[in-house]
């Protein structure tokens, strides 16, 4: 018979849990993790979704898209589209509906080591970087400078260490490399040698795809291994809104599809400039353009992996300046997420960027607003979710690090509220009120849920003013600078094997120092 006091048993349980808290939780028990289900926020009603769909079909049938390359016209006409005397390709609704019926419903974006693969389907939510910023934000000097290949490599290395950054689409261009082919090749090298996570990149010319794929085959260990697990996708601005194909980008897309590379079909109209100023109208145009891209991709290779990338951006109509941090932007991207779910297609949109020039209070409210709204809407791929400033002109390493905290809180909102016998906690209430001390501090249940239910910031400060002063009044940005320096002081675990690295440098002009 066990005659030990009950309190002793409970104390032992708490001690065990304290020991468990000292080690990292397995992924399936973490309070937030990649691919959690969103979709609870629905700014558009079911009738609204249907009307947007019908309007997009009408636009494709009656307006169509101009400037398709000759190869694209051949693919699309063979798929059932028509070429008008005005040179515009028009899409009969039956052609679009047929493609929607057979398009790939699940796309896996592979990581290089197999540990952070992203399965895109339903309302599974993932956050990551993206963009083509031309400047770096120097938070210490409070100024902007040209971005370099070293900056890109460092961003990838930082992302590798951040749990809440799930993929690394190239966030900046290497302005220190003037040759476009070398820039494209070095972009792949800089990202893939910095992180194991899935990488997204662009190509400036269709002729550059073949040498890039050769590099990827070398990194993967051969073409067969590459095609089994393509760990780089092509971010493809295949349209020039409104309703025109981007001729060379379409040719790039054709080559990437043939090479087995997943495609992000990116339509980035500017509401009020290159897209209608209304939120609904901008979503209609982006949807129509991406439907055209989906037909195109499936005409090249039926069922090829493609992400429905509706990226309409907002404008400040007073000045014509981009307003990526606005509430309108958050609604645009959340509405697009609903259209992806309407079609049951893997999709992505832009959120989490800021118009602020520095990681300040404005950046915080702008980044959180759209990251939360798109996550709640169930957006599969939240692009530009971290580090992006000045309406996409500047990228900031320190902001990237702070965004890991921010996205952790956003993901906790996505996870939502679980209601079960356990979480309703009637037994706890009864025990605390009738048998216990009248509070829940230190109970087994409270201690047991500390890691399972709660997300704790790494950099956010929850100390009292007294404690804050005693700690030397730590500054958020200064803590991010220290963490950046710590990460960059050691080599990336994703760096290439020395023999492979030597082979790559012999074959290609790699600008990063050994």
Q: Which two tokens stand for residue 395?
A: 């990228």
* Closest to 384 (Cα-Cα) out of 349, 425, 344: 349
Q: Which two tokens stand for residue 226?
A: 């590459």
Residue 10 contacts residue 442 (beta carbons within 8 Å): no
Domain ranges of the chain: 100-415
**Which CA distances in Å does 392 have to 145, 213, 290, 366?**
14, 28, 22, 13
Residue 204 contacts residue 180 (beta carbons within 8 Å): yes
- Three-state DSSP at 89 gives strand
Q: Biggest alpha carbon distance in the chain?
A: 93
Cα separation, 200 vs 360, in Å, equals 28
Cβ within 8 Å of residue 408, ≥6 positions away: 32, 163, 164, 455, 457
Q: What is the pLDDT of residue 28?
A: 75
**394-395/135-138 β-pairing:** parallel
Cα separation, 159 vs 168, in Å, equals 7
* Closest to 93 (Cα-Cα) out of 58, 52, 49, 48: 58
Q: What is the pLDDT of residue 10?
A: 44
The domain over range 100-415 is classified in CATH as 3.20.20.480: yes
Residue 303 contacts residue 293 (beta carbons within 8 Å): no
Cα separation, 498 vs 229, in Å, equals 22
Specify the DSSP element, H or E, that contains 451. helix 444-453
Q: What is the pLDDT of residue 4?
A: 40
Helix intervals (H) in 197-273: 209-220, 223-228, 247-258
Q: Is the peptide bond before 242 cis (omega within 30 degrees of 0)?
A: yes
Structure-token match 């190509």, residue found: 203
- Three-state DSSP at 375 gives helix
Per-residue pLDDT of the chain (514 residues; tens, 9 = 90+): 344 433 433 444 556 555 555 556 777 778 999 999 999 999 999 999 999 999 999 999 999 999 999 999 999 999 999 999 999 999 999 999 999 999 999 999 999 999 999 999 999 999 999 999 999 999 999 999 999 999 999 999 999 999 999 999 999 999 999 999 999 999 999 999 999 999 999 999 999 999 999 999 999 999 999 999 999 999 999 999 999 999 999 999 999 999 999 999 999 999 999 999 999 999 999 999 999 999 999 999 999 999 999 999 999 999 988 899 999 999 999 999 999 999 999 999 999 999 999 999 999 999 999 999 999 999 999 999 999 999 999 999 999 999 999 999 999 999 999 999 999 999 999 999 999 889 999 888 898 888 899 999 999 999 999 999 999 999 999 999 999 999 999 999 999 999 999 999 999 999 999 9
- 325 phi, psi to nearest 5 deg: -95, 10
Strands (E), 174-298: 199-201, 232-236, 263-267
Cβ within 8 Å of residue 72, ≥6 positions away: 89, 245, 250, 251, 254, 296
Q: Which two tokens stand for residue 168?
A: 């690394």
CA 10 distance to own-chain centroid = 43
Question: With helix as H, strand as E and coil as C, how does 168-196 read?
Answer: EECCECCCCCCCHHHHHHHHHHHHHCCCC
- 322 phi, psi to nearest 5 deg: -65, 150
pLDDT tens for each residue of 202-231: 999 999 999 999 999 999 999 999 999 999
Task: In the chain, count H helices and then E strands.
Answer: 19, 19
Q: What is the pLDDT of residue 104?
A: 96
Q: At what angle do helices 209-220 and 498-507 cross, to 10 degrees?
A: 160
* Closest to 413 (Cα-Cα) out of 371, 456, 350, 363: 371
**232-236/263-267 β-pairing:** parallel
Q: What is the pLDDT of residue 21?
A: 54
Specify the DSSP element, H or E, that contains 310. strand 306-310
**Which CA distances in Å does 513 have to 150, 185, 293, 459, 510?**
9, 15, 39, 32, 8
Using a 10 angstrom Cβ sphere, with 0-12 exposed, 13-18 middle and 19 or more buried, the burial of residue 73 is middle
């Amino acid at each position: 018979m066990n005659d030990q006091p009950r309190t002793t048993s409970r104390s032992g349980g708490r001690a065990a849990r304290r020991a468990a808290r000292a080690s990292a939780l397995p992924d399936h028990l973490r309070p937030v993790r990649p691919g959690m289900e969103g979709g609870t926020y629905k700014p558009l009603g079911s009738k609204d979704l249907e009307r947007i769909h019908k309007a997009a079909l009408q636009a494709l049938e009656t307006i169509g898209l101009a400037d398709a390359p000759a190869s694209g016209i051949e693919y699309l006409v063979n798929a059932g589209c028509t070429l008008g005397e005005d040179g515009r390709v028009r899409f009969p609704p039956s052609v679009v509906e047929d493609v929607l019926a057979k398009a790939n419903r699940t796309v896996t974006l592979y990581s290089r080591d197999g540990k952070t693969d992203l399965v895109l389907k339903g309302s599974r939510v993932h956050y990551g970087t993206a963009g083509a910023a031309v400047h770096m934000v120097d938070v210490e000097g409070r100024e902007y400078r040209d971005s370099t290949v070293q900056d890109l490599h460092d961003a990838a290395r930082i992302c590798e260490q951040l749990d809440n950054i799930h993929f690394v689409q190239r966030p900046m261009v290497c302005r220190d490399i003037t040759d476009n082919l070398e820039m494209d090749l070095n972009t792949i090298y800089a990202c893939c040698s910095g992180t194991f996570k899935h990488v997204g990149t662009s190509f400036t010319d269709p002729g550059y795809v073949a040498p890039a794929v050769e590099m990827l085959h070398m990194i993967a260990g051969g073409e067969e291994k590459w095609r089994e697990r393509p760990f780089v996708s092509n971010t493809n601005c295949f349209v020039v809104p409104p309703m025109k194909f981007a001729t060379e980008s379409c040719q790039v897309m054709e080559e990437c599809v043939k090479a087995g590379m997943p495609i992000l079909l990116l339509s980035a109209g500017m509401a009020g400039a290159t897209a209608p100023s209304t939120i609904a109208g901008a979503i209609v145009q982006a949807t129509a353009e991406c439907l055209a891209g989906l037909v195109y991709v499936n005409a090249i290779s039926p069922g090829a992996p493609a992400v429905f990338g509706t990226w309409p951006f907002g404008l400040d109509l007073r000045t014509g300046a981009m307003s990526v941090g606005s509430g309108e932007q958050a609604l645009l991207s959340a509405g697009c997420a609903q259209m992806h779910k309407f079609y049951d297609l893997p999709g992505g949109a832009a959120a989490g960027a800021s118009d602020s020039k520095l990681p300040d209070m404005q950046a915080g409210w702008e980044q959180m607003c759209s990251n939360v709204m798109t996550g709640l809407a169930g957006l599969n791929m939240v692009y530009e979710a971290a580090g992006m400033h000045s309406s996409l002109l500047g990228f900031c390493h320190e902001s990237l690090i702070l965004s890991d905290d921010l996205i952790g809180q956003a993901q906790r909102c996505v996870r939502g509220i679980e209601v079960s016998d356990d979480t309703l906690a009637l037994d706890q209430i009864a025990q605390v009120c009738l048998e216990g001390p009248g509070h829940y501090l230190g109970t087994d249940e409270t201690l047991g849920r500390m890691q399972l239910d709660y997300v704790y910031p790494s950099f956010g400060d929850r100390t009292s003013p007294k404690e804050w002063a005693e700690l030397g009044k730590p500054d958020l940005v200064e803590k991010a600078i220290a963490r950046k320096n710590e990460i960059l002081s050691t080599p990336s675990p994703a760096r290439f094997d020395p023999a492979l690295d030597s082979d790559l440098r012999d074959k290609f002009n790699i600008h990063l120092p050994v």
